[in-house]
Amino acid sequence: MESIKRNVLLNPGPSTTTDTVKYAQVVPDICPREQEFAGLMKGLREDILKTVHADPSDYTTVLFCGSGTINIDICLNSLLPENGKVLVIDNGAYSTRAVEICQYYGLPHIDLRFPVDELPDLSVVEQTLNDNPDIKLVHTTHNETGTGILNPIREIGALAHKYGAVFTVDTTSTLAMRPINVYDDNIDFCMASAQKGLMAMTGLSFIIGRTSEIIKSKDYPKRSYYCNLYLQYDYFEKTGEMHFTPPVQTIYATIQALKEYFAEGEEAKWARHTRVFEAIHKGLDELGFKDIIKREWQAGLVVSVRYPDDPNWSFEKVHDYCYERGFTIYPGKISTTNTFRLCALGAIDEEDINDFFKVFKEALNKYNIAIPAVYNV
Ligand SMILES: *Cc1c(COP(=O)(O)O)cnc(C)c1O
């Protein structure tokens, strides 16, 4: 097996993958309607449940072909009963995306906004639930990837349940990285795509959800054909297959990635991401760069860094310098502040971050950007 040029991706997914995962895609051609392929997907669906400690007697995994946003779309449009309302707890770009999905489908919803650098106020969440008994679905984002803030999903889930609502959480940027337990974390539905925490390829997304709620949703208003949760679930149950063509090669890669996930182990993997995250902070601190979110609120996977107030600073130039040397850095996603992001996901470790900072510092020197970084406030 020839090794493939290794790039260190510090963007929030797709992530750096192992060569064994890349090569797992190179397999004989197969029609995904063959029993052999259905068998692979059955094992994959069961293994995905284990990543969040979900018991197959309560939860099921439903696979979809698409990027992670398809999961948010599917959960919101499929799990809202007639006359119900969605409550989105919104302190960042990914929860705002959920609000936009509600708008596109015309779903009754409340966009409960909080500042992007603050945790949601749980007393306001509770008051909103209390004032709106028609809220049947509560949605939020676990690690708001736009900033790296960790939302208190366990507490939000408990409130959702207290007021009789289903709780859906966008865990795309935590699942298979930061440990999740659907029971302890009060999660009815969570989701991710294969190219993030699992360190596989793009094109496969999945929802892990309470089977009883999916079955209940059979009679809810049907708002999409391709993106209906019950329809896809039912097809899997009856045939073992995806309703429409699955991303075949990505599924092979994901099966390999899950083997590697279980071999590394949940705790060891989280410890590795934490090492990477701390190395990112150490490198930034040494160069005087400042981040946006209070350190104790960060999920440990994304660092959102403020642009220095330096006339020579140019994200594009620094990006290009690093990119040419195998390191990818990523723009921010906050409308009010200029930021860039460094993320701790993928098959990387501390040494990669140390190597990255050597290159990053060279870029700063080359473009006469001051070290330590200059900030006016
Ligand atoms: C990556 C990500 C998604 C999915 O984004 P796509 O562009 O559709 O891949 C959704 N939610 C969160 C929190 C994410 O980090």
Q: Which two structure tokens, joined as six digits, stand for 156?
A: 């939000």
40 and 255 in contact (C-beta within 8 Å)? yes
Strands 189-193 and 166-170: parallel
Window from 62-76, 239-253, 326-340, 360-374 with minimum mean pLDDT: 326-340
263 and 198 in contact (C-beta within 8 Å)? no
What pLDDT sits at residue 337?
A: 87
What pLDDT sits at residue 29?
A: 97
From 71, 96, 175, 193, mutation site for ligand 1 pocket: most ligand atoms within 8 A of C-beta? 193
- What's the CA-to-centroid distance between 35 and ligand 1, angstroms? 31
DSSP assignment letter at 374: P
63 and 258 in contact (C-beta within 8 Å)? no
What pLDDT sits at residue 377?
A: 83
What pLDDT sits at residue 335?
A: 81
pTM of the predicted model as reported, rounded to 2 decimal places: 0.97
What pLDDT sits at residue 1?
A: 78
Helix (H) or strand (E) holding 210: strand 204-210
Please name the residues in contact with 147: beta carbons below 8 A apart, sequence gap of 6 or more. 92, 116, 117, 292, 293, 302, 304, 333, 334
Give the pLDDT confidence of 121-132 residue by residue, as tens digits.
999 999 999 999
What pLDDT sits at residue 46?
A: 98
Protein residue with its CA nearest to atom 6 in ligand 1: 68
From 72, 145, 195, 301, mutation site for ligand 1 pocket: most ligand atoms within 8 A of C-beta? 145
Residue 334 has pLDDT above 90, yes or no: no
- What's the CA-to-centroid distance between 190 and ligand 1, angstroms? 13
Atom of ligand 1 nearest to the CA of 145: 15
Percent of the chain past pLDDT 70, that is, above it, reads: 100
Q: Which residues pair with 340 in a beta bridge?
A: 305, 331
CB-defined site of ligand 1, < 6 Å = 12-13, 67-69, 94, 141, 145, 170, 172-173, 193
Domains of the chain: 29-263 (3.40.640.10), 266-366 (3.90.1150.10)
Q: Which two structure tokens, joined as six digits, stand for 364?
A: 């700063």
Q: What is the mean pLDDT of the chain?
A: 97
Give the pLDDT confidence of 150-175 residue by residue, as tens digits.
999 999 999 999 999 999 999 999 99
How much is the average pLDDT of 202-227? Answer: 98
Protein residue with its CA nearest to atom 12 in ligand 1: 172
Give the pLDDT confidence of 7-42 residue by residue, as tens digits.
999 999 999 999 999 999 999 999 999 999 999 999
Residue 333 has pLDDT above 90, yes or no: no
Q: How confident is the model at residue 2 (pLDDT cuts 50, 70, 90)?
A: confident
What pLDDT sits at residue 228?
A: 98
Give the pLDDT confidence of 47-105 residue by residue, as tens digits.
999 999 999 999 999 999 999 999 999 999 999 999 999 999 999 999 999 999 999 99
Protein residue with its CA nearest to atom 4 in ligand 1: 68
How much is the average pLDDT of 348-359? Answer: 98
Q: How confident is the model at residue 336 (pLDDT cuts 50, 70, 90)?
A: confident
DSSP assignment letter at 341: E
